[in-house]
Amino acid sequence: MALSPYVQAMQELFRANTRSREFPAHGAKVHSVAWSCCGRRLASGSFDKTASVFLLEKDRLGRPPGIGRAGVKENNYRGHGDSVDQLCWHPSNPDLFVTASGDKTIRIWDVRTTKCIATVNTKGENINICWSPDGQTIAVGNKDDVVTFIDAKTHRSKAEEQFKFEVNEISWNNDNNMFFLTNGNGCINILRQVPVAAGYPELKPIQSINAHPSNCICIKFDPMGKYFATGSADALVSLWDVDELVCVRCFSRLDWPVRTLSFSHDGKMLASASEDHFIDIAEVETGEKLWEVQCESPTFTVAWHPKRPLLAFACDDKDGKYDSSREAGTVKLFGLP
C-alpha cells in the first residue's frame, strides 16, 4: 500500500532528526511532561518533589537570552513535600500550570513570578490531574479513588466524588460537558455534567464502556475532537469515535502495559509508550506504524507539542539494565533539527 503524502513527509522529517536531545531537569525520575498551550514552555514533574519549566527558544530548550547557557532550566518550582506525579497547563493561559502531589495538595504556579499562587489541600495522595477546557475547573484524583473538583479562580473545592473502582486517568471531553475516567476493571466511565439551580453541576453516570480485558490506564482526546484513545495493561491502544463511542481500531505494537498517550497537534499521529524500549508513533487514520522512537529504558510520559511535530518524553533513567551510573531526571525531545 502506498504511503500517504503526510506519512512520507513525517518520515522524512524524523529520518533527518532521529536523535533525541536530552536536557537535565531533575535529581530523580520524571513522572510527567506537558507543553503550555502556546508551545513556548515545557513543564516536567518529578519524584524529587519539584517541577521544572523550560523555555523553547528556536530549536532548543533553555533559559531566556542573557540568563544562561541553552539546554538548562528556565526555572525550578519547589514547595511540594512529596513526589510530583502529574501536572498540566491551563488550557488557554500559557502562564499557569498546576501540579498534583503525593503530599495531599495541588499547587497552581505562575511562570511570570515563578511563585505558587495557590495551594489546595486534598484528602488523599494525588496521582492524576486535569484542567477543564473552559479553564474554570481543576479535577484531581487520589490513591483512594476520590476525584475532587476545584474552582480554578477561588481555589476552593466545588465537589467531590468517591468511586467504587480503581480510578486511573481522568479527562474532560473537548466540549467540556462530559467527564471520562479509566478504571482498573478495563472500563471507560463517562459522566455528564448536569446543571443544577445553584453550585457546581452534578455529575451523572451515563455510560460504562468495556474497553479492555485488563486495567485501563490512560486516556487522551485528540485536538480535533474526533477521537479519544485509551491505553491498557493488555498492551493495546484503542481508538474511539467521540460521537459514536465505538472503537474504530486498535494499535498492538507494544508488548507491555501502555502507560502514556499523546495526539499530535493536527490529530494525525498518536504516540504511545510503555516499558518497551521504544515509543510507537502511529498514523491515526490507518493505524500504520509511522515511526519508532528508540529509548534505552521504560517511558513514563509523552507529550506532543501543540503546534509542531515535536515530541517531549521522559524515561526511567536509572534503569540498571544498561547503565546505573546514568544521571536520572532528564527530559527528552524528539524531532528537533
pLDDT level of residue 72 (50, 70, 90 thresholds): very low
pLDDT in tens, 301-329: 999 999 999 999 999 875 444 444 455 89
| b/e 31-68 (16+ beta carbons within 10 angstroms → b) | bbbbbbbebbbbbbbbbbbbbbbbbbeeeebbbeeeee
Q: Quick one: cell of 328?
A: 536520572
Q: Does pTM surpass 0.85?
A: yes
Q: What is the mean pLDDT of residues 224-242?
A: 97
**Contact (CB, 8 A) for 157 and 126:** no
Rounded Cα–Cα distance for residues 329 and 44 (Å): 9
What is residue 126's predicted lDDT score, i.e. its pLDDT? Answer: 97
Average pLDDT, the chain: 91
* 8: phi then psi, degrees, rounded to nearest 5: -60, -45
Long-range contacts, stretch 12-15, CB < 8 angstroms, 24+ apart: 13/309, 13/335, 14/281, 14/291, 14/309, 14/334, 14/335
29 pLDDT above the threshold of 70: yes
Give the chain's domains with CATH numbers: 5-336 (2.130.10.10)
Rounded Cα–Cα distance for residues 198 and 97 (Å): 28
Pick the range with the lowest mean pLDDT from 160-164, 199-203, 315-319: 315-319
